[in-house]
């Protein structure tokens, strides 16, 4: 049986203030939970339905019904297992390799996809502005498809970080140099801006090299690319070189 206190705790973790208060976040689904269990994330409590309990027997799971799982799940179709994990201390920023800096990314789906891309393209660290959506937001966690387990993420004052870093700083803007003709260094910072407004003027002023993905369409309707899509193209260019 799932107690009322357990149910209340799990559902309240949908809000950032309670994730901060309890230093816990929830992850759902067999794949994502297994990825986190195999990582350095520390498990707090595991809940699963009876039909998949044997797969998680080493983690002392609490068996709950499908109905109970649906009450605490944040998914439209709950997927057998839900784990509560401890939020780790922010890792020290690695100023080596390719570092991705995010200036006020608001959409959980975008951030989750960017984390997944960072895992794929071996980004050494993601540095987020303090106003970027929380990476432990349940929608972000789901969108990462487990890549959260392998990605170093730190929230900090992005302006201070960019002023102090010794790495060259590239920034994605609309009026930059075409990325296909730019010289891209492998040890660098790539800055991506907000979905609607791009990066702030202060952050943009700290960029060494402004780059852009050229538009081939003659249509005036399409003004820009989705930030996650743009990130994928630019990370591919950095790695392709």
Helix locations, the chain, DSSP H: 4-12, 16-22, 30-37, 66-72, 108-120, 138-144, 158-164, 201-204, 227-240
Are residues 158 and 103 in contact, defined by beta-carbon separation less than 8 angstroms? yes
d(CA 2, CA 193): 42
Are residues 48 and 64 in contact, defined by beta-carbon separation less than 8 angstroms? yes
Please write the tens of the pLDDT for every residue from 92-113.
998 889 999 999 999 999 999 9
Nearest to 65 by CA among 7, 113, 9, 118: 7
d(CA 167, CA 145): 30
The model carries a pTM of 0.94
Please write the tens of the pLDDT for every residue from 59-70.
999 999 999 999
Please write the tens of the pLDDT for every residue from 139-191.
999 999 999 999 999 999 999 999 999 999 999 999 999 999 999 999 999 99
Q: Is the pLDDT of residue 220 over 70?
A: no
pLDDT band at 223 (very low <50, low <70, confident <90, very high): confident
Which domains, from first to last, does the chain contain? 4-86 (3.30.1330.30), 98-240 (3.40.1280.10)
- Phi then psi for 31, rounded to 5 degrees? -65, -50
Half-sphere exposure (Cβ direction) of 169: Cα atoms closer than 13 Å: 21
């Amino acid at each position: 049986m799932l107690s009322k206190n357990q149910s209340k705790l799990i559902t309240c973790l949908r809000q950032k203030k309670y994730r901060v208060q309890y230093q816990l976040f929830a992850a759902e689904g067999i794949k994502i939970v297994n990825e986190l269990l195999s990582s350095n994330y520390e498990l707090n409590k595991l809940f699963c339905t009876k039909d998949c309990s044997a797969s998680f027997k080493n983690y002392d799971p609490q068996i709950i019904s499908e109905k109970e799982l649906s009450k605490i799940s944040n998914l439209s179709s709950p997927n057998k297992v839900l784990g509560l994990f401890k939020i780790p201390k922010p890792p020290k920023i690695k100023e080596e390799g390719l570092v991705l800096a995010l200036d006020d990314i608001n959409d959980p789906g975008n951030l989750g996809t960017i984390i997944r891309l960072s895992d794929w393209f071996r980004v050494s660290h993601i540095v987020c502005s303090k106003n970027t959506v929380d990476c432990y937001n349940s929608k972000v966690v789901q969108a990462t498809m487990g890549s959260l387990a392998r990605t170093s993420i730190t929230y900090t004052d992005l302006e201070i970080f960019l002023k102090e870093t010794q790495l060259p700083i590239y920034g994605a803007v609309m009026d930059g140099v075409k990325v296909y003709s730019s010289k891209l260094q492998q040890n660098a910072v790539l800055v991506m801006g907000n979905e609607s407004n791009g990066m702030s003027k202060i952050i943009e002023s700290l960029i060494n090299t402004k780059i852009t993905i050229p538009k081939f369409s003659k249509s005036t309707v399409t003004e820009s690319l989705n930030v996650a899509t743009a990130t994928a193209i630019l990370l591919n260019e950095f790695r392709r070189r």
